[in-house]
């Protein structure tokens, strides 16, 4: 049976998933002999079992929690709810969080109108006891009923004057505010206090943040559901706010911003010293033995937990207590640096280190620095040792290739030639060629573009010396290559309105009429599915001829320069094997003409870009003519779902988000269930025809851990992404390989266990 209440002395580091990070950390310290306030954890499952829809603890829950509280009473000699020696409890979330969960804690649970006098006698300071009660009421009202602190502050007035009479008045006002807004009085029954505190802390992610009395009156009870989010840590309250040699502090075992080794943090003494030093320096000077204990605790916890620790501690009359510990929230730089330190110290393995890296770590590091830092470079080296997928880059211009190579790209998976041709400096030549009335005029236009394209490819081959360069032939819808018809017609109207008879004026009008006729002839009613990609070559074969000539001319120059040139010609938007066969014949023809004797030094490939579902469904046939498959998952997503990316981004996904019919935007994260099934099927069928068929994805919606794990699992050779995505893609590929190895090992162990 799963335990629902776990004493700290029963917990272990391995129980982190059951009792939370904080509970597990304290359990490790307690069992190793470190001074930790006694306590217990109500597990997440325990919270679900104990807190019903009506907010009542089950009978079994009352008994288990009551037994744990009695255990604390035996250890402390104090009693929960006792008027003479009251036991007070601190109730916190036991889960690590990026938010400050201490602000969502209830401290000194067990104070009421009677026990507050017992605390006054214990501390010999009634004003202090009353203020503790006031703070409990304020925190209880905010956490349990969502009452803003500002409403309590209105009742209190001037915080600088807190004498006993003012505190007594504030306590009465606070209790009335809780009853008026929460519709229930503050519980004088300490058992009910504990139950309310536990349920509220467990539900903390659902606590409302209201700003006005009106909002509160309109708000229904915030905890009416039956979902509890966090395990709850309940400990004996330790006082660090009163008396000599007392204080509270927070420290980190590594610096949370830089990751530098060594303890850092702050300490606030209850009695302010002349130096008013809130750093740990004051503690080091005044309490060197306790400072040394904290150093040892940091080292011990890091070795046990394998993470940078945040430790909150209290010193009560010279006695040190480690209040609670949790994994520290670190900057990206600190996370990477400390993780590498743990590997070098033998605390964790390289594989464990890589599994800790999140996308934002890499993004933040690249934003903050012009290139990869030494820490990131080292992690990327480790990733390259483990990963099985190649990480290639999508590029639009030669500079992209240079950037990609600097970031560790193992080649170009997609060179978008249309971005080169459609630049402002080149588009006029493209349009002039398309709008020409005959082949000779078109070829004159292409003669201007040929050296430009050749120069592009030369620079890319140089940047990727020794690595494959996949060049996609022009993949632009015809309408994107044409001048805007509306702009042309407006110009014609203006010219016709002019009454000038100059020759130049008439010539321009005649030329404009010709261009408008030509654009109208080429106009498509459904441009998305019209003349583009491999089909565009049937209308304007000269464009493809020019691109192929530019590629192979650049290859010849590269070979003669001593580069290892590895061009891979990709035919886009293949729908039928005959389309690929025709294009392959053309590629081979141009290669023979241009490469000549250098052909033996330029082992080019020809492959298909799988963007249409039919291509995926007929992969066995297409593989006959293909050296590789490259899956354009963005286009494949559009055709599989049946809508364009622009429409989906603007309308569809807002509706889907509301109705919960789609969990992820498939243009951001690969749709493994649908599009992924087509990809996997095409890979399997293609490799039936060609066992060593190279396959990969060049869609930018596949650069997340889930998508890359899928690519790894189905045996793709590469993933191609934007240059700036390369570092994380390399790490994600390693993470996928590590998880795959561990999953296989777990399956094998399970099989062995079953056989045994």
pLDDT tens string 419-454 = 888 888 888 888 777 777 777 777 787 888 899 999
Question: What tens digit of pLDDT does each residue of 73-91 get?
Answer: 999 999 999 999 999 999 9
Same domain for 551 and 598, yes or no, is: yes
**What CATH number is associated with residue 273?**
3.30.470.20
Q: What is residue 446's predicted lDDT score, i.e. its pLDDT? A: 84
260-283 burial, b for 16+ CB within 10 Å, e for fewer?
eeebbbebbbbeeeeeebeebebb
| Listed residue (372, 425, 362, 426) closest to 403, CA to CA | 372
Q: What is residue 371's predicted lDDT score, i.e. its pLDDT? A: 79
Domain assignment present for 147:
yes
Same domain for 493 and 583, yes or no, is: no
Q: What share of the chain is helix, strand, coil (3-state, %, to 5)?
A: 55, 15, 30
Measured between alpha carbons, how far apart are the two ends of the chain, in Å? Answer: 25
Please identify which residue in the block is written with the tokens 């201490």.
Answer: 102
**What CATH number is associated with residue 168?**
3.30.1490.20
| H or E element in which residue 196 lies | helix 190-202
247-254, strands of its sheet edge to edge:
261-269, 247-254, 309-316, 319-327
DSSP 691-752: TT-EEEE--GGG-SHHHHHHHHHTT-SEEEE-GGGHHHHHHHHHHHHHHHHHHHHHHHHHHH
Give me the mean pLDDT over the 578-598 stretch: 95
- In the structure encoding, which two tokens stand for residue 447, read together? 């003669």
Q: Give the least confident one: 174-183, 247-256, 511-520, 615-624.
A: 511-520
Residue 269 has phi, psi (to 5 degrees) of -75, 150
CB 22 within 8 A of CB 93: yes
Same domain for 54 and 172, yes or no, is: yes
Bridge partners of 629, per DSSP, are 608, 695
Same domain for 91 and 60, yes or no, is: yes
Please identify which residue in the block is written with the tokens 């706010």.
Answer: 241
Alpha-carbon gap, residue 683 to 686, rounded angstroms: 5
| Listed residue (120, 101, 203) closest to 167, CA to CA | 120
Query: Quick one: three-class SS letters along 634-684?
Result: HHHHHHHHCCCHHHHHHHHHHHHHHHCCCCCCCCCCCCCCCHHHHHHHHHH
CB 256 within 8 A of CB 329: yes
Residue 248 has phi, psi (to 5 degrees) of -130, 150
The distance from CA 642 to its chain's CA centroid, rounded to whole angstroms, is 28
Q: Say which residues have a Cβ less than 8 Å from residue 620's Cβ, sequence separation at least 6.
A: 685, 686, 688, 689
| Listed residue (336, 301, 374, 437) closest to 27, CA to CA | 301
Q: What number of other Cβ atoms are within 10 A of residue 656's Cβ? A: 14
pLDDT of 21 above 80: yes
pLDDT of 178 above 90: yes
pLDDT of 220 above 70: no
pLDDT of 219 above 50: no
Domain assignment present for 369:
no
400-438 burial, b for 16+ CB within 10 Å, e for fewer?
bbbbbbebbbbbbbbbbbbebbbeeeeeebbbbbbbbee
Alpha-carbon gap, residue 481 to 423, rounded angstroms: 11
Alpha-carbon gap, residue 725 to 644, rounded angstroms: 24
Domain assignment present for 349:
no
Alpha-carbon gap, residue 194 to 62, rounded angstroms: 11
Please identify which residue in the block is written with the tokens 């070829």.
Answer: 443
Domain assignment present for 733:
yes
Q: Give the strand pairing for 247-254 and 309-316.
A: antiparallel
Alpha-carbon gap, residue 597 to 518, rounded angstroms: 42
CA distance to 50, 136, 184, 625, per residue, from 187 (Å): 19, 12, 8, 79
Alpha-carbon gap, residue 296 to 304, rounded angstroms: 12
Q: How would residue 57 be classed by pLDDT, with cut points 50, 70 and 90?
A: low
Give me the mean pLDDT over the 661-678 stretch: 84
What is the number of structural domains in the chain? 4
Q: How would residue 208 be classed by pLDDT, with cut points 50, 70 and 90?
A: very low
Q: What is residue 740's predicted lDDT score, i.e. its pLDDT? A: 95
How many residues would you count in the chain? 756
Residue 607 has phi, psi (to 5 degrees) of -140, 175
Q: Give the least confident one: 40-49, 154-163, 652-661, 706-715.
A: 652-661
Domain assignment present for 213:
yes
Same domain for 91 and 173, yes or no, is: yes
Q: What is residue 518's predicted lDDT score, i.e. its pLDDT? A: 72
Same domain for 708 and 738, yes or no, is: yes
Please identify which residue in the block is written with the tokens 């596949």.
Answer: 702
Q: What is residue 315's predicted lDDT score, i.e. its pLDDT? A: 92
Q: What is the mean pLDDT of the chain?
A: 85
| Listed residue (377, 567, 341, 333) closest to 472, CA to CA | 567
More confident residue, 649 or 24: 24
- In the structure encoding, which two tokens stand for residue 267, read together? 């300490």
pLDDT of 179 above 80: yes
Q: What is residue 742's predicted lDDT score, i.e. its pLDDT? A: 93
Residue 605 has phi, psi (to 5 degrees) of -125, 160
Same domain for 541 and 513, yes or no, is: no
Q: How would residue 224 be classed by pLDDT, with cut points 50, 70 and 90?
A: very low
Longest CA span, the chain: 111
Residue 576 has phi, psi (to 5 degrees) of -145, 145
Task: Examine the fold and report which residue of 179, 209, 236 is the final residue of a domain before the chain moves on.
Answer: 236
Q: How would residue 653 be classed by pLDDT, with cut points 50, 70 and 90?
A: low
DSSP 615-633: HHHTHHHHTTT-SEEEE-H
Alpha-carbon gap, residue 588 to 752, rounded angstroms: 54
Question: What tens digit of pLDDT does each residue of 381-427 get?
Answer: 999 999 999 999 999 999 999 999 999 999 999 999 988 888 888 88
Same domain for 536 and 613, yes or no, is: yes
More confident residue, 664 or 233: 233
Q: Give the least confident one: 11-25, 260-274, 643-657.
A: 643-657
CA distance to 253, 408, 431, 482, 501, per residue, from 512 (Å): 74, 49, 13, 13, 16
Give the rounded percent of residues in the chain with a pLDDT score beyond 90.
Answer: 56
Task: Examine the fold and report which residue of 275, 308, 327 is the final residue of a domain before the chain moves on.
Answer: 327
Give me the mean pLDDT over the 34-42 stretch: 93
Given its phi and psi angles, is residue 722 left (phi above 0), alpha (psi -120 to 50 degrees) or beta?
beta
Bridge partners of 414, per DSSP, are 394
Alpha-carbon gap, residue 377 to 365, rounded angstroms: 11
The reported pTM is: 0.81
Domain assignment present for 527:
no
In three-state secondary structure terms, 551 is helix
Q: How many helices (H) and strands (E) does the chain have?
A: 33, 17
Domain assignment present for 43:
yes
Question: What tens digit of pLDDT does each residue of 517-576 get?
Answer: 777 777 655 544 444 445 565 667 888 999 999 999 999 999 999 999 999 999 998 999
Same domain for 505 and 653, yes or no, is: no
Give me the mean pLDDT over the 290-308 stretch: 91
- In the structure encoding, which two tokens stand for residue 13, read together? 């580091």
Q: How would residue 51 be classed by pLDDT, with cut points 50, 70 and 90?
A: low
Same domain for 145 and 259, yes or no, is: no
Residue 184 has phi, psi (to 5 degrees) of -140, 140
Task: Examine the fold and report which residue of 194, 212, 236 is the final residue of a domain before the chain moves on.
Answer: 236
Q: Give the strand pairing for 106-109 and 247-254.
A: unpaired
Domain assignment present for 378:
no
More confident residue, 19 or 96: 19
Same domain for 124 and 218, yes or no, is: yes
In three-state secondary structure terms, 121 is helix
55: containing domain: 5-236
Q: What is residue 503's predicted lDDT score, i.e. its pLDDT? A: 66
CB 700 within 8 A of CB 721: yes
Same domain for 26 and 159, yes or no, is: yes
């Amino acid at each position: 049976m799963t335990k629902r209440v776990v004493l700290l002395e029963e917990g272990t580091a391995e129980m982190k998933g059951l009792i939370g990070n904080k509970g597990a950390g304290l359990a490790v310290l307690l069992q190793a002999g470190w001074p930790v306030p006694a306590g217990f954890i109500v597990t997440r499952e325990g919270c679900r079992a104990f807190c019903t829809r009506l907010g009542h603890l089950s009978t079994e829950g009352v008994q288990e929690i009551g037994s744990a509280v009695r255990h604390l009473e035996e250890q402390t000699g104090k009693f929960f709810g006792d008027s003479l020696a009251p036991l007070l409890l601190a109730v916190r979330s036991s889960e690590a969080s990026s938010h400050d969960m201490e602000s969502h804690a209830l401290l000194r649970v067990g104070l009421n109108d009677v026990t507050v006098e017992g605390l006054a006698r214990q501390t010999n300071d009634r004003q202090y006891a009353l203020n503790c009660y006031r703070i409990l009421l304020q925190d209880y009202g905010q956490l349990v009923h969502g009452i803003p602190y500002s409403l309590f502050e209105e009742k209190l007035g001037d915080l600088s004057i807190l004498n006993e009479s003012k505190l007594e008045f504030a306590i009465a006002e606070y209790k009335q505010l809780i009853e008026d807004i929460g519709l229930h009085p503050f519980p004088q029954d300490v058992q009910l206090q504990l139950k309310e505190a536990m349920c509220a802390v467990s539900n903390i992610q659902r606590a409302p943040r209201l700003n006005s009395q009106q909002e509160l009156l309109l708000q229904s009870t915030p905890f009416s559901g039956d979902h509890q989010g966090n395990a709850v840590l309940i400990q004996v309250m330790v006082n660090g706010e009163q008396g000599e040699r007392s204080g509270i502090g927070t420290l980190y075992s590594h610096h949370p911003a830089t990751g530098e080794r060594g303890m850092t943090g702050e300490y606030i003494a209850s009695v302010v010293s002349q130096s008013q030093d809130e750093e740990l320096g004051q503690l080091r000077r005044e309490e060197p033995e306790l400072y040394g204990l904290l150093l040892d605790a940091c080292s011990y916890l890091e070795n046990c937990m394998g993470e940078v620790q945040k430790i909150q501690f209290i010193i009560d009359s010279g006695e040190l207590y480690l209040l609670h510990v949790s994994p520290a929230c670190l900057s990206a730089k600190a996370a990477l640096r400390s993780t590498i330190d743990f590997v070098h110290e033998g605390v964790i393995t390289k594989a464990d280190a890589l599994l800790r890296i999140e996308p934002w770590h890499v993004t933040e590091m690249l934003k903050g620095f012009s290139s990869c830092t030494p820490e990131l470079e080292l992690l990327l080296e480790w990733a390259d040792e483990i990963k099985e997928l190649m990480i290639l880059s999508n590029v639009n211009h030669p500079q992209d290739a240079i950037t990609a190579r600097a970031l560790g790209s193992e080649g170009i998976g997609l060179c978008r030639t249309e971005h080169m041709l459609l630049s402002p400096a080149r588009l006029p030549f493209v349009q002039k060629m398309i709008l020409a009335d005959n082949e000779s005029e078109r070829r004159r236009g292409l003669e201007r573009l040929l050296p430009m394209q050749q120069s592009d490819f030369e620079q890319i081959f140089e940047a990727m010396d020794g690595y494959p360069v996949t060049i996609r032939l022009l993949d632009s819808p015809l309408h994107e290559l044409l001048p805007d018809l509306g702009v042309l017609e407006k110009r014609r109207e203006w010219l016709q309105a002019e009454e000038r008879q100059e020759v130049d004026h008439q010539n321009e009008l005649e030329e404009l009429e010709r261009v408008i006729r030509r654009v109208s002839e080429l106009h498509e009613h459904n441009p998305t599915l019209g003349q583009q990609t491999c089909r565009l070559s049937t209308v304007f074969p000269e464009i493809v001829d020019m691109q192929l000539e530019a590629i192979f001319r650049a290859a010849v120059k590269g070979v003669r320069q001593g580069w290892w040139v590895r061009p891979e010609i990709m035919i886009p938007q293949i729908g039928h094997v005959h389309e690929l066969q025709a294009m392959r014949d053309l590629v081979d023809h141009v290669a023979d003409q241009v490469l000549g004797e250098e052909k033996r030094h330029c082992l080019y490939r020809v492959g298909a870009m799988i963007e249409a579902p039919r291509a995926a469904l007929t992969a066995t046939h297409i593989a006959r003519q293909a050296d590789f498959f490259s899956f354009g998952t963005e286009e494949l997503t559009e055709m599989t779902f049946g809508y364009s990316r622009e429409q989906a981004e603007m309308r569809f996904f807002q509706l889907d988000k509301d109705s919960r019919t789609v969990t992820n935007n498939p243009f951001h994260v690969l749709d493994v269930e649908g599009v992924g099934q087509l990809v996997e099927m095409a890979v399997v069928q293609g490799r039936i025809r060609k066992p060593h068929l190279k396959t990969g994805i060049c869609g930018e919606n596949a650069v997340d851990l889930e998508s890359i794990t899928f690519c790894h699992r189905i045996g793709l050779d590469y993933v191609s992404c934007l240059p700036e995505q390369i570092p994380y893609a390399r790490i994600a590929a390693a993470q996928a390989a590590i998880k795959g190895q561990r999953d296989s090992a777990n399956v094998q162990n399970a099989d062995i266990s079953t056989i045994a």
